Chains A and B, each alone.
Chain A
């Protein structure tokens, strides 16, 4: 049983690490603010969550487990909230997301007034 837990834990840790890297690549490569923020928030929640669950499977005592669960709850509460606030602030200050235009090329939609 503990062998399974160890393998599962390492799988989660590696997967979380890979998601962190993919999030950073996305942050650098994606075309506009909103898509970049999407990449960053994947790192915030999914990657961190996976790493934390991976660590939980290796927790030696219940107190460590409890602390890790608390960190996970905190991260899951704050990460999406921060992302939401950031997106809303950007939208309020008039930054338009890139949308596929008529020619199929991504372009900022200037006609519609930014939905709030």
Chain B
């Protein structure tokens, strides 16, 4: 029965992928990409990877769809009709390349152990240590959170820096000088009374849910990445409904930029404090007299840093894109 569900979801994924390639309407493509993210999330749930599924649902289906839609408001709705006038356009070559690469990848999976096999390297290498000792070493029930934030703290730090860099990249490339003098523009949504009222009811709930995800990450699926994205989506919803100028009154540009750096700084400072106390970088055992309490404190602070950075970078990206598209004169 379970493999039947697997087959159904995977074939829906393939169908969605083909539809994304074939459809020319970019709004439809964006929605299909969101559906693709949601289907992947369902597939991850079937594989018992709830943390990954949660991230995929929040990032793949949620915020990236939003950001692509914002981009579309700048670029226009339809693909350029044709690229045929270019003489060196050879779809056959691309097709051959993709087919060969795909065949090689599928051939490569032949050597991989089956999903969930007991003697697979994933099950024998470090995982027994994580599963057996994380309860006594780290002291939190969600092993995924303890691996993510403590055992593999370096990797997560790298990820946060990547997100921070993405924010800087967006700012460096498309931040306009005019952002300090906001365009006076009534929001397109100003006449949507129902939308505004319902959103006013929902925004506090979304923020509370984000905080729950943030601080419940040690006990169940969740954590800084998901919480940051959800928190940012509350602000993005506000900005979409009430206009960028209003939203900037709530969260000042400078403050968001400072916050995005503050998250990374918080993460790194936890590591440095551990070093000062005599441990190695990001070794939370040294944060407190009791190693387990130190681990709990370290994970809490680190996840908070992740959440702050992710939320503010998402807000920065959305605000910058929106400001750019409004400056271009075509609010549509």
Contacts and interface: CB of A to CB of B under 8 A. Distances in A.
A4 interface: no
Interface in A73-107: 74, 77-78, 81, 84-85, 88
Do most interface residues of chain A lie in helix, strand or loop, or is the interface mixed?
Answer: helix
Interface string A36-58: 00000000000000000000000
Contact of A84 (B194, B201, B202, B205): B194
A41 B202 CA distance: 19
B5 interface: no
B195 A78 contact: no
16 contacts: A74-B202, A74-B205, A77-B198, A77-B201, A77-B202, A78-B198, A78-B202, A81-B194, A81-B195, A81-B198, A84-B194, A84-B195, A85-B192, A85-B194, A85-B195, A88-B192
Nearest to B201: A77
B247 to A, nearest CB: 19
Closest 4 CB pairs between A and B? A81-B198, A84-B194, A85-B195, A77-B198
B319 to A, nearest CB: 22
Interface size class of B (residues with CB under 8 A): under 10
Interface of A: 74, 77-78, 81, 84-85, 88
Interface string B37-71: 00000000000000000000000000000000000
A1 to B, nearest CB: 30
Interface string B194-224: 1100100110010000000000000000000
Contacts of B205: 74
A36 to B, nearest CB: 15
Give the most central of A77, A78, A81, A85: most B CB within 10 Å: A81
Contacts of A88: 192
Interface in B153-199: 192, 194-195, 198
B307 to A, nearest CB: 21
Given A78-B198, A81-B195, 10 more contacts: A74-B205, A77-B198, A77-B202, A78-B202, A81-B194, A81-B198, A84-B194, A85-B194, A85-B195, A88-B192
Contacts of A84: 194-195
A18 B194 CA distance: 30
Nearest to A84: B194
Contacts of A77: 198, 201-202
A88 B195 CA distance: 11
Contacts of B194: 81, 84-85
A78 B194 CA distance: 11
Contacts of B192: 85, 88
A81 B201 CA distance: 12
A77 B192 CA distance: 15
A54 B33 CA distance: 31
A71 to B, nearest CB: 11
A21 B142 CA distance: 37
A77 B195 CA distance: 10
Nearest to A85: B195
Nearest to B194: A84
Contacts of A85: 192, 194-195
A112 to B, nearest CB: 20
B134 to A, nearest CB: 24
Nearest to A88: B192
